[in-house]
Structure 1
């Protein structure tokens, strides 16, 4: 496939790897970010270095205005044929520390934004017989001991994925990738002991790499006879 890929949360980690991999596979790319504009611009430069077009949009996806600005920015590159909803927040903490604002902020970014972007881009995606890839988490499948709002939002995203797959069929395929713990800069504060605990009982005995998850995302985006599915890429941890 080709066209324009809109990748949210693309200034670092999995999102950065997806944006660059999408360019390698022939897409022009809208690099979405909420901060870290310099990092997002570096991703865009890497994309243009492959010969594809790129643009950066800094926007708050928890606000309607931010969602609309992101859609408009992507369309400056052309009709959107791939939407990768990668942006997310964990808001970790024990149950007793959970407050109203953190709960709703997590759901707004992790669940509401992907649904609204799919809604607002449905005509583009249908015209190009495109795809939506929602980036979930194994926490949405088996639960999380670290963050209730994160796990709840990712579980909700599975339901949203399956419903969108039905609503947008037959023209748009909608699938969810559930990565396990991936070695990005979000793990910089994790101690060696904690890494050992993370890997305990994991068949492949290592953390995932962002470029590995990106290849899974882009591979599934190209599967023309698959929709409404949850694809787990976690080294076998929840097997």
Structure 2
């Protein structure tokens, strides 16, 4: 994705997006800015965060945050409120995902706790500290889950459990915070979230695209467009739901030959 400073005027609404400096999170940020949102990028990567926010222009700013640490969440949210005086949307995208997990018998409890801390406790803490301000403006929350909440590969227990838990947290929050705050989840499948240069250097195979009923691997814009809709007033009757963005793969029956 090419970053260009935004020249648009703000629509008066403020969104906080975690895990925002690369990949899907960055795609969501760019889409929201294009729609006139003021977006606060939250991430643990201070150096890249400041650089990305500057590149995106005046409608973007950065706050350092480890979402698994309640004191950092509280301070980050306070910083947002101190600067803008309001919060209209929260997108919980920050996550740990390691495709090369160890076998179950070698799974370290520390690793398990770390993944659940970022992927599940993080969204809880953010909802806890953001909810009073979201309620004041009838805001919305979108949690970024995963199709791994429904399907698994070997040795992915921590990630699968965290994303499954996030779906449960989503509908629990929707009931607890309604009607003032809507809460939904988006579960991406295979999304090519690499930079343009990385995609050009190592193009995905035709087979990778063709296996999807939609005919291609997903793009960050596919997720970002849905998130933006869920945050908007156009989705005012939608809450407590999961939206799968995977090109139809979870509906495809697959048997080995």
- Of the structure 1 ranges 174-183 and 24-33, higher mean CA displacement relative to structure 2 is found in 24-33
Larger radius of gyration: 2
Measured on the aligned residues, the alpha-carbon RMSD in Å equals 2.4
Aligned-pair CA distance for 1:128: 0.5
| C-alpha distance in structure 1 between counterparts of 2:78 and 2:208, whole Å | 40
Deviation at 1:70, TM superposition (A): 2.0
Residue correspondence of structure 1 range 78-93 to structure 2 within 5 A: 78-92=85-99, 93=101
Residues 152-190 of structure 1: per-residue CA shift (max 9 Å, x gap): 00000000000000000100000000001111239x79x
Match of 2:34 among 8, 18, 24: 24
The answer to which of 168-177 and 210-219 deviates more is 210-219
> How far apart are residue 200 of structure 1 and its match?
6.6
User: What is the CA distance between 1:13 and its match in structure 2?
Assistant: 0.5
CA contact 1:28–1:77 (8 Å) conserved in 2: no
**CA contact 1:132–1:174 (8 Å) conserved in 2:** yes
Contact preservation (8 Å) 1:91, 1:102 = no
Name the residue aligned to 2:5: none
How many correspondences in the alignment? 233
- Three-state SS of the structure 1 residue aligned to 2:216 is coil
Partners of 1:163 and 1:134 lie apart in 2 by 12
| Matched residue, 1:127 | 136
Q: Which region of structure 1 is more displaced relative to structure 2, 170-179 or 202-211?
A: 202-211
Residue segments in structure 1 that go unaligned for 5+ positions in a row: none
Tell me what 1:213 maps to: 223
Query: Gapped runs of 5+ residues in structure 2?
Result: 1-10, 252-257
Cα 1:95–1:45 shift into 2, 3 Å: same
TM-score of the superposed pair, with normalisation by structure 1: 0.89
| Alpha-carbon distance, 1:149 to partner | 0.5
SS of the counterpart of 2:171?
Answer: helix
Q: 1:108 maps to what in 2?
A: 117
